[in-house]
Structure 1
Amino acid sequence: MKKVGDVELRLAKGPVPHYKELKELERSIVKVIIEEFGTEELIKRYSNPLWFNSLACLLGFEWNYSGMTTVTLKALKEISIEDNLPIIVLGGKGKDSKITEEVETKDIKDKLKDKIKDVSITSAKVDNYLIQDGYNLYFHFLISDDRGNMTIINQKMSIKEQKVRRFHWININYFDDSQIGFGSNTKTLNLSSKESEELRKNILEIINNERTEKIKEYIIRLKSYQNKNNTILKYISKENNDYIFYQELPYYLKIPDKIYWKALEINRTVENFKDLLFIKGLGPGLLRALAYTAKIIYGSELSWRDPIIYTFAHGTKVGKPYYVKRALMLEEAELLRNAIEEAKVNNNFKLRSLRKLNELIDI
């Protein structure tokens, strides 16, 4: 899988009074896209963070609130079942997020089931363990077709910040540098980026070649530096040849007080970093400690690049990152306009949706 984009949103609570109308409108849009372009194109569109935001705005959501993710996808799941659509829709919030269990209840070929399980677990581990930003995964969703085209949409929450972050995946690689999205940046240890490739190799070197007691010794020593000096970043972080981040580490980037040391007692060689993510008990705290240790031992660089950056759906009038693709905008608008007209919702809701569509086109 390839990371396609990331979005930061505000945490929202409360019911959605127009759920019936938005569901019928989304039903029409989904059916039109499948009929016109097929299931692969539908999956690609849901994997695009800004297209998804535009869809949610058409359905009546504010552009930066968390419900635009959970409610829009909850409706899609219900629609796929009610209309027997040629897509597989799994996951959700809380207990409904266990895709590996839910997929066993579906009539799907074993090979595709195995792929879904693998993609589900790995994408969740990457977003929760390798993107260390103080947010925790609470929503996990998958859309697939019977040919194995699929997208994963994960959402993480920070109770402290009262915000959520949404991560989009599409077919290709587990670790990729083309992460795009939009939102405000936060202090992030990014172990999934291309810059961290050498660091990931060095973490494997430590796991495979060092005795467990020796690894514990390294980590405990680093933790003592952290407690004594309020930070360990001044020993391990450089940017433009100048040491930075002398301030105290955020709580979510510190080496934790409790570490599950048994996760280090591996009786086999870990061949790749993906295998490491499947080790029972190896959580983000221990992984973070191993990253700091790898920096001290091997000198490999740590990436503090937050994957949340601005993204463009159709370019801009000044040509950054490219000029507006007006024909594409009008083509998509026409498709959505037809879908709105076909929707089995009341006229007032249709008119509001069309006005919203016109506003989006004029932006």
Structure 2
Amino acid sequence: MKRSGTADLPLHGGRVPPWLANRMTELCTAIAEHIILEYGTGEFLTRLSDPFWFQAFGCVMGMDWHSSGITTSVMGALKRGLNPRFAELGLAVCGGRGRHSVRTPDELRAFSMKIGLDGEALARTSRLTARIDNNAVADGFQLYLHSFVITGSGEWTVVQQGMNPENHLARRYHWHSAAVRSFVSDPHTAILGRPQGTILNLVDARAAKAQGALLAIAKEPIEKSLNDARKLIMPAHHDVQAKDIDLKRLGAVLAVAHEQELRDFASLLLVEGLGPRTLQSLALIAEVVHGASSRFSDPARFSFALGGKDGHPFPVPLKTYDESLAILRRSLEAARLGHAEKVDGFKRLDRLTRTVEEERQPLADFNAALTHERHISKSVGGRTVFDDRRENKKAKKTGQQSLF
């Protein structure tokens, strides 16, 4: 095993409101199901272990594009969405934030007993990754979140996050088991880095040897395990700016969604007559499902799918969110019945967007795109956490109870 990457994020307070948290659970589960259906559970673990893809994953669900809250909200949504469907999807999330993080070893033991894995070996792995990032690396970050994502065969990814109050930063750490594959769509972009040492299979019958190897890793210099980790450093500014985005890639998405000829063709891949705003959202979701690892170097671009809860780059368009979810659900339901055309439509939509990007090379007019999104916000149900606060204050003044 080795650490696959880190992400430095500005500390950001606040909570995810129920109207967004519930939708995030549904969307992240649908995206996970699409990836698992097309590429398998191991591929989904690989993507979770990539800090750039993980950030884009959080952005496309309507979270603040750069803040520390993405980690907690994404892992919480995945746990709520995946665990009840373990028998179907083959993935479970153990641990979480605060008191839930210290329960991770016990959750792993209980999980292992149900499906026949070596719970003690997995619990030791959980403790080892936490101790390395919390104690062995003297970087000033103290862990407060530890999530362990595991498959029925024993492959796993660890996502954990520490806080440094002095510099107002959070640092997210990603680990993965050596059994996890690299991105199937871009095999030459290695998430795992150069092979180092023995590949560990913690569910092998020779579990004692695996445990011994883990202890050996713990005694080695930390640098040996960490040198190849991918690192994402997010800026301090809270608003999304043009410099944060690959305007060529965003331009291709906007062209496919808003230019009549391209939009008519693209909508036929999913739902005939699909509106431009929902098509824009689905094109970015399709890239999260099918895009190569190299395409997530600008995670802020994915906030143009469904905005952000704090209004950056624009309020979350709830009507678009719900329509996008409905289309994702219908495609998955059709796939379960043996009709894969709509699921394949997402792959073709991603391919179309990349073809437009390569052949036409359109550059997005960032300011015009932002102005347009804010202009149509009310018509697509745009909402932020600040709307909640205003409504709560109004309810208190009138003596009415808020239903949020």
TM-score range, shorter chain: 0.5 to 0.7
Q: Is 78-87 or 67-76 further displaced after alignment?
A: 78-87
1:75 corresponds to: 77
Separation of aligned partners in 2, 1:104 and 1:10: 34
The aligned amino acid for 2:158 is: I
The aligned amino acid for 1:349 is: Y
Alpha carbons of 1:105 and 1:48: their partners in 2 closer, same or farther (altered >3 Å)?
A: same
The residue correspondences of 1:1-363 to structure 2 (distance < 5 A) are: 1-17=1-17, 18-84=20-86, 85-98=89-102, 99-106=104-111, 107-109=113-115, 111-172=117-178, 274=215, 309-310=231-232, 334=286, 336=288, 347-349=319-321
Separation of aligned partners in 2, 1:20 and 1:333: 18
The aligned amino acid for 1:23 is: T
Separation of aligned partners in 2, 1:51 and 1:306: 17
CA drift at 1:308 = 7.2
Contact 1:157 1:163 survives alignment (8 Å): yes
Separation of aligned partners in 2, 1:117 and 1:303: 20
Separation of aligned partners in 1, 2:288 and 2:49: 17
The aligned amino acid for 1:334 is: A
Give the SS at the match of 2:47: helix
Question: How many residues in Structure 1 have an aligned counterpart in Structure 2?
Answer: 228
Contact 1:151 1:171 survives alignment (8 Å): yes
Contact 1:125 1:277 survives alignment (8 Å): no
Separation of aligned partners in 1, 2:35 and 2:83: 17
Separation of aligned partners in 2, 1:113 and 1:35: 27
Give the SS at the match of 1:65: coil
Contact 2:27 2:61 survives alignment (8 Å): yes
CA drift at 1:69 = 0.4
Separation of aligned partners in 1, 2:55 and 2:226: 26
CA drift at 1:102 = 1.7
Contact 2:2 2:177 survives alignment (8 Å): yes
Alpha carbons of 1:103 and 1:135: their partners in 2 closer, same or farther (altered >3 Å)?
A: same
Higher Rg? 1
Alpha-carbon displacement from aligned partner over 1:231-251 (angstroms, at most 9, x marks no partner): xxxxxxxxxxxxxxxxxxxxx
CA drift at 1:111 = 3.8
Identify, as 1 or 2, the structure richer in helix: 2
Contact 2:149 2:156 survives alignment (8 Å): yes
Contact 1:8 1:64 survives alignment (8 Å): no
CA drift at 1:307 = 6.3
The aligned amino acid for 1:348 is: T
Cα RMSD between the aligned structures?
4.4
CA drift at 1:159 = 1.6
Contact 1:74 1:92 survives alignment (8 Å): yes
Q: Which runs of 5+ in 1 are unaligned?
A: 174-178, 181-193, 195-270, 279-290, 292-300, 318-329
Alpha carbons of 1:109 and 1:24: their partners in 2 closer, same or farther (altered >3 Å)?
A: closer
Identical-residue share of aligned pairs (%)? 27
Give the SS at the match of 2:118: helix
1:266 corresponds to: none
